[in-house]
Amino acid sequence: MKPLRTDSVVLGLALITFAAGTAAAEDKVVTYGVSMDYYSKYIWRGQNVDNSSVLQPTISASAYGFTGSIWGNLDMTNKSKTAPDNAGEFSEYDLSLDYTATIPGADWLSGSVGTIYYQFPNTKFNPTTEIYTGFSLPKVPLTPSFKWFRDVQEIHGSYFQFGIGQLFDKLYVMNENCYCGLQLGASYGWANAAYDRGYFGVNSGQSNDLTFSAALCTQVYTWMIKPSINYSTMLGNSIRDATDKSDNLWVGINVSRSF
């Protein structure tokens, strides 16, 4: 791993934290976030990373369009394929730095750029780094989005993700501080030959995965609680042949707070 990339993410978090100290004087919006996810499986871009229970905590800070976050995957059993006999230990840490903003003169279009540094403690995998760019149409029904992820360290390949989603807010309101909504989403992933060769040993660009999710969003004062159900299937025949579990159904629950 090249230290500069890791340091840049940590520096980004430090700058966002520093911004919090000056935000009051400048009337800028600075937010922090904490969340904890439980999932019955760990599925990443359709790949079954861990077929058993995991916990995934996140901390983040956002200011002026920048968001820095630290995310982890904690294996709860000894059944992980990537980190067997690893119950109670982390098998992945991700450091990310994102910038997202509305395009000037086009408030219907939002663009983003960022980087993700992946580290895999207690496993045989080397760390790697992705950079990405993308856009979304927040004022269009289903909020279509596109992202291009480029691995620049280990895989040197590209993954393209197309997504749609819809939030039905406040379907049931108990009071102004407690209400429920429904969030639906779907994504399709396609990768080039270099990406597929690195992850699956497949020497051609192919459709990778199709994923669907539904979550019940429950706001309770400053906390959000989101139970979800998710389904993912690998699409390309060669990709399916190269994966142990090509179809996955899993459930989860997210508890988060922003302040």
Residue 5's pLDDT is 41
Give the CA angle between residues 110, 184, 81 to the nearest 5°: 95
Split at pLDDT 50, 70, 90, the class of 244 is confident
Residue 4's pLDDT is 39
The pLDDT of residue 3 is above 50: no
Residue in this structure with the two tokens 């000894």, named with its chain if needed: 78
Measured CA to CA in angstroms, residue 253 lies from 47, 103, 176, 223 at distances of 20, 33, 23, 13
Burial of 141 (0-12, 13-18, 19+ CB in 10 A): exposed
Residue 82's pLDDT is 76
Closest CA to 121 of 87, 93, 97, 81: 93
Given a contact cutoff of 8 angstroms between Cβ atoms, the answer to whether 210 and 196 are in contact is no
The pLDDT of residue 174 is above 60: yes
Length of the chain as a residue count: 259
Cα(136)–Cα(109) distance, rounded to whole angstroms?
Answer: 6
State the fold for domain 3-258.
Answer: Porin (2.40.160)
Given a contact cutoff of 8 angstroms between Cβ atoms, the answer to whether 206 and 196 are in contact is yes
Residue 214's pLDDT is 98
Residue in this structure with the two tokens 């190269």, named with its chain if needed: 242
The pLDDT of residue 118 is above 70: yes
- Quick one: what percent of the chain has pLDDT higher than 90? 81
- The residues spanned by each domain of the chain are 3-258
Of 15-24, 133-142, 150-159, 160-169, minimum mean pLDDT range: 15-24
Cα(136)–Cα(213) distance, rounded to whole angstroms?
Answer: 18
Split at pLDDT 50, 70, 90, the class of 27 is low
Burial of 117 (0-12, 13-18, 19+ CB in 10 A): buried
What single-letter DSSP state applies at residue 24? Answer: H
The pLDDT of residue 189 is above 60: yes
Q: What is the mean pLDDT of residues 27-56?
A: 93
Q: What is the mean pLDDT of the chain?
A: 90
Contacts of 175 (CB under 8 A, 6+ apart): none
Residue 83's pLDDT is 76
What single-letter DSSP state applies at residue 113? Answer: E
Contacts of 25 (CB under 8 A, 6+ apart): none
CA 20 to chain centroid, in Å, comes to: 24
Given a contact cutoff of 8 angstroms between Cβ atoms, the answer to whether 34 and 59 are in contact is yes
Q: What is the mean pLDDT of residues 209-231?
A: 97
